């Protein structure tokens, strides 16, 4: 990480910080942290995204930490403006190509396609917020309570409170943030993560879960936000009989997938990418991944489609583990 070089690159430009679409707490915390970091060093920026942020936990996060972010199409972004990507990468399916030049990227996802950013800091850690916290820590930039709390919340959410994908840096940055954050508020936010309306989706997943050996597959037959599908996939993985979970739901006429793995020889990103090859796309980390099948590739009959999805994942499991 070369924080001075990042500042040199962005200095004198109009800067937009972009998160992946339908940003989650880690993406928002990372964007907010970088905005505060840049501001302290004299660089103004605006945070932008695509997709909605209407989940109550996200609304509360923006409210509690006084975070301002905008749908990208409500901002005036010129082709020559600079874009700093956080918690996502150029050419990812879940990151819209907005006007502006993607000159920098800070992320913790595997690289799917190499890009010629002027600055890139892509490291495999539990949360992107840990990388961002390190910018403050390393440069001795003062951090305020809201920023520290937001980053701590991002780390806890993306690591499922230190139960998933944790690295030493996540722990070190949690320790660093501990002195500055409002820990009790973060605790409360983490524990209040499920909304009453979410229960309908949990119910649907519980009702139609199929378990084959140690893989649990569940379909939610109505539109669900990405974040909720991910939460339900985490939930299914908590079953003792399940070490790989695949949850998929309707989304804009297509199907949205969330995959989790705690199986040593099953890479969740490879699994979803292999299972959806030819009908959609997917990818991600070893332990968590996502995917999408567009409307055009769908099969009309629900029963047949569910069977096909099931078979594709079973086939993919065999392919990637042998
Ligand atoms: Mn993340």
**What pLDDT, on a 0 to 100 scale, did the predictor assign at position 226?**
86
Distance in Å, CA 301 to ligand 1 centroid: 35
**What pLDDT, on a 0 to 100 scale, did the predictor assign at position 142?**
98
Distance in Å, CA 108 to ligand 1 centroid: 7
DSSP state of 46: E
For a pLDDT cut of 90, what percent of the chain falls above it? 84
* pTM for this model (two decimals): 0.83
The structural domains of the chain, with segments of one domain joined by +, span 3-191, 199-321
Distance in Å, CA 125 to ligand 1 centroid: 9
**pLDDT class for 61, splitting at 50, 70, 90?**
very high
Cα dist from 70 to 17, 76, 84, 162, 314, whole Å: 10, 11, 15, 30, 41
Distance in Å, CA 309 to ligand 1 centroid: 26
**What pLDDT, on a 0 to 100 scale, did the predictor assign at position 150?**
98
For a pLDDT cut of 70, what percent of the chain falls above it? 100
Distance in Å, CA 19 to ligand 1 centroid: 10
**What pLDDT, on a 0 to 100 scale, did the predictor assign at position 297?**
94
- Domains 3-191 and 199-321 belong to one CATH topology: no
**pLDDT class for 304, splitting at 50, 70, 90?**
very high
Is the predicted pLDDT of residue 322 greater than 80, yes or no?
A: no
**pLDDT class for 182, splitting at 50, 70, 90?**
very high
**What pLDDT, on a 0 to 100 scale, did the predictor assign at position 316?**
97
DSSP state of 252: T
Distance in Å, CA 30 to ligand 1 centroid: 8
Indicate the range of 31-35, 84-88, 92-96 predicted with least confidence: 92-96
Distance in Å, CA 292 to ligand 1 centroid: 18
CATH class of the domain defined by 199-321: alpha beta
Distance in Å, CA 303 to ligand 1 centroid: 34
Distance in Å, CA 154 to ligand 1 centroid: 8
Nearest in space to 30 (alpha carbons), one of 168, 130, 100: 130
Q: Across residues 20-37, what is the average pLDDT?
A: 96
Distance in Å, CA 162 to ligand 1 centroid: 13
**What pLDDT, on a 0 to 100 scale, did the predictor assign at position 124?**
95
DSSP 265-300: T--HHHHHHHHTBTTBEEEE-SSEEEEEE-GGG--S
Q: Across residues 180-202, what is the average pLDDT?
A: 94
Euclidean distance between CA atoms 150 and 66, whole angstroms: 10
Over residues 221-247, the pLDDT tens digits come to 999 988 899 999 999 999 999 999 999
Distance in Å, CA 173 to ligand 1 centroid: 15
Is the predicted pLDDT of residue 140 greater than 90, yes or no?
A: yes
Q: Across residues 109-115, what is the average pLDDT?
A: 87
**What pLDDT, on a 0 to 100 scale, did the predictor assign at position 265?**
94
> Considering the chain, what is the average pLDDT of its residues?
94
Is the predicted pLDDT of residue 195 greater than 90, yes or no?
A: no
Which CATH number is associated with domain 3-191? 3.90.1640.10
**What pLDDT, on a 0 to 100 scale, did the predictor assign at position 111?**
87
Over residues 276-290, the pLDDT tens digits come to 999 999 988 888 899
**What pLDDT, on a 0 to 100 scale, did the predictor assign at position 143?**
98
**What pLDDT, on a 0 to 100 scale, did the predictor assign at position 56?**
84
Q: Are 62 and 16 in contact (CB under 8 A)?
A: no
């Amino acid at each position: 990480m070369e924080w001075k070089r990042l500042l040199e690159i962005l200095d004198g430009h109009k800067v937009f910080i972009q998160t992946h679409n339908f940003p989650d707490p880690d993406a928002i915390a990372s964007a907010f942290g970088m905005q505060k970091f840049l501001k302290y060093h004299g660089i103004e920026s605006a945070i932008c995204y695509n997709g909605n942020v209407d989940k109550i936990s996200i609304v509360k996060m923006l409210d509690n930490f006084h975070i301002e972010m905008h749908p990208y199409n409500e901002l005036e972004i010129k082709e020559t403006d600079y874009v700093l990507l956080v918690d996502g990468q150029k050419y990812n399916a879940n990151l819209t190509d907005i006007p502006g030049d993607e000159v920098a990227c800070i992320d913790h996802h595997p690289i799917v396609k190499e890009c010629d950013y002027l600055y890139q800091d892509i490291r495999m850690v539990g949360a992107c917020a840990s990388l961002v916290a390190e910018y403050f820590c390393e440069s001795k930039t003062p951090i305020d309570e809201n920023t520290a709390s937001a980053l701590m919340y991002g780390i806890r959410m993306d690591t499922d409170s230190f139960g998933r994908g944790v690295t030493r840096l996540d722990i070190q940055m949690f320790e660093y943030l501990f002195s500055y954050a409002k820990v009790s508020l973060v605790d409360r936010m983490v524990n209040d993560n499920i909304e009453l309306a979410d229960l309908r989706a949990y119910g649907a997943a519980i009702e139609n879960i199929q378990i084959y050996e140690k893989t649990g597959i569940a379909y939610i037959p109505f539109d669900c936000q990405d974040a909720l599908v991910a939460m339900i996939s985490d939930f299914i993985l908590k079953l003792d009989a399940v070490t790989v979970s695949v949850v998929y739901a309707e989304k804009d006429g297509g199907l949205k997938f969330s995959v989790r793995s705690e199986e040593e020889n099953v890479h969740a990103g490879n699994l979803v990418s292999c299972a959806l090859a030819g009908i959609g796309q997917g990818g991600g980390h070893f332990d968590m991944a996502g995917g999408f099948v567009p409307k055009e590739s769908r099969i009309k009959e629900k029963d047949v489609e569910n069977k096909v999805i099931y078979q594709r994942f079973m086939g993919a499991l065999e392919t990637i583990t042998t």
